[in-house]
Structure 1
Amino acid sequence: MSALAITAGFTDPVIEAQAHFHALMNALARPGTIQPFPAALDVPAPLTPELAAVALTLVDHEATLWLDATLAASQPVVDYIRFHTGARIVADPADAAFALVVDVAAMPSLASFAQGTDEYPDRSTTIILAAASIEPEGSFELSGPGIRDSARIGLSPVPADFTAQLAINRAQFPRGVDLVFAAGREVAALPRTTLVSEV
């Protein structure tokens, strides 16, 4: 295991994890808003500081974590994640409580991840995607819980057939996945309850 993997976690784990958790909860509660996300971490590529900060905030030794092929192929990334979270890394996205994605174009369909059940909807995957940009007033129009009337946001890149996949995801509520986009020390979220259309 490299020295970087051992030393590059949060400087003050409690305070920093709380700040990042607060930002993530605000993003999920208010879809379409862009939340500041300090993510001041020095991490092994191709992991991004934002994805690492989400993992260190949400993932622990009891959680299952799926890494996309690009991340899973990097031993320094795997070592870093295992050292700082203790998470069990799984090969099947359907077994994951959390997923980290840096190659958005190559990610599996949303339906490939854990969907939860009607009795236990929390047993679904929260997918964290590394975005190139998150912009206000973009090409996606959002409505639903946590949004007054409607909101607009720009997200790039997004998976293929994005709005169609999201419509299917939303239709199976309370089951379904939640998405968090992270880029440039900012986060935004699309929970399963959000209706998304492209304008």
Structure 2
Amino acid sequence: MSALLDTAAPLPGLPDPVHDSQAAFRAVMNALARPGKPQKLDTGDFQAPAPLSNTAGAIALSLFDYDTPVWLDAELAGSSQVWQFLRFHTGCPITDDPGEASFALVSDAEHMPPLSSFNQGTLEYPDRSTTIIAMVDKLTGAKAVTLSGPGLKKPAGFNASPLPPSFWNELAAIHAQFPRGVDMLFVTQKQVAGLPRSTRIEMKGR
């Protein structure tokens, strides 16, 4: 995976770096604390380089730093503007290996690689797993799975689309390994929903 960085100045970062970063971070924390419940994230005049969405870009700028290796899917990795933007504003190293990534940015969620290819942490250090930020079109529609566990008073339905056909089976199997696993953030143009690895996932009809 490689991209040549051009010499053009990267797009500006968050208009109000402190407050905008805090707002994005708060939305992510609320999303992970309340699994499956979409949280509003207004990015205002902020503009991320395509194909990185404004919402995903704002989250990236609030979470990434020089100590968090980041994996990019093919569309993002092929954009020199995305590379330059992330490196300039966060200092994060870009890795070719999803198994080494602290964070993964996925612009084409329907064709993301198998979840087993990402770092799932260890029993001793489960926090070293990958947080996957997947850009999706919708967080509504027919409920694909039922969620239960910490942060949920009662089981709740959830869906996001588009995703690979095998996605929910894969995620349910990985979450069954808790405390190992991956944390998911599903991002639309104005919302973010989280599924931490502590969330139990039951397929509909089972």
Amino acid in the other structure paired with 2:37: T
Where does the alignment leave 5 or more consecutive residues of structure 1 unmatched? none
Deviation at 1:153, TM superposition (A): 2.4
CA offsets 1:1-59 (integer angstroms, 9 cap, x no match)? 333x242x111111111111111001001101110111232121111111111110100
Larger strand share, 1 or 2? 1
4+ residue segments displaced more than 3 Å: 136-139
2:22 corresponding residue in structure 1: 18
Selected match of 2:57 from 52, 61, 78:
52
Deviation at 1:184, TM superposition (A): 2.1
The alignment's C-alpha RMSD in Å is: 1.5
Counting aligned pairs with the same residue, the percent is 48
Deviation at 1:194, TM superposition (A): 1.4
Distance 1:154 1:93 in 2: 24
CA offsets 1:64-115 (integer angstroms, 9 cap, x no match)? 0000011000111111111111100000000000000011122111110011
For the pair 1:167 / 2:178, whether they are aligned, the reply is no
Where does the alignment leave 5 or more consecutive residues of structure 2 unmatched? 1-6
Amino acid in the other structure paired with 1:2: A
TM-score with structure 2 length normalisation? 0.90
SS of equivalent to 1:197: strand
How many pairs are equivalent?
197
Distance 1:58 1:169 in 2: 23
1:184 corresponding residue in structure 2: 189
TM-score with structure 1 length normalisation? 0.93
For the pair 1:39 / 2:43, whether they are aligned, the reply is yes
1:117 corresponding residue in structure 2: 122
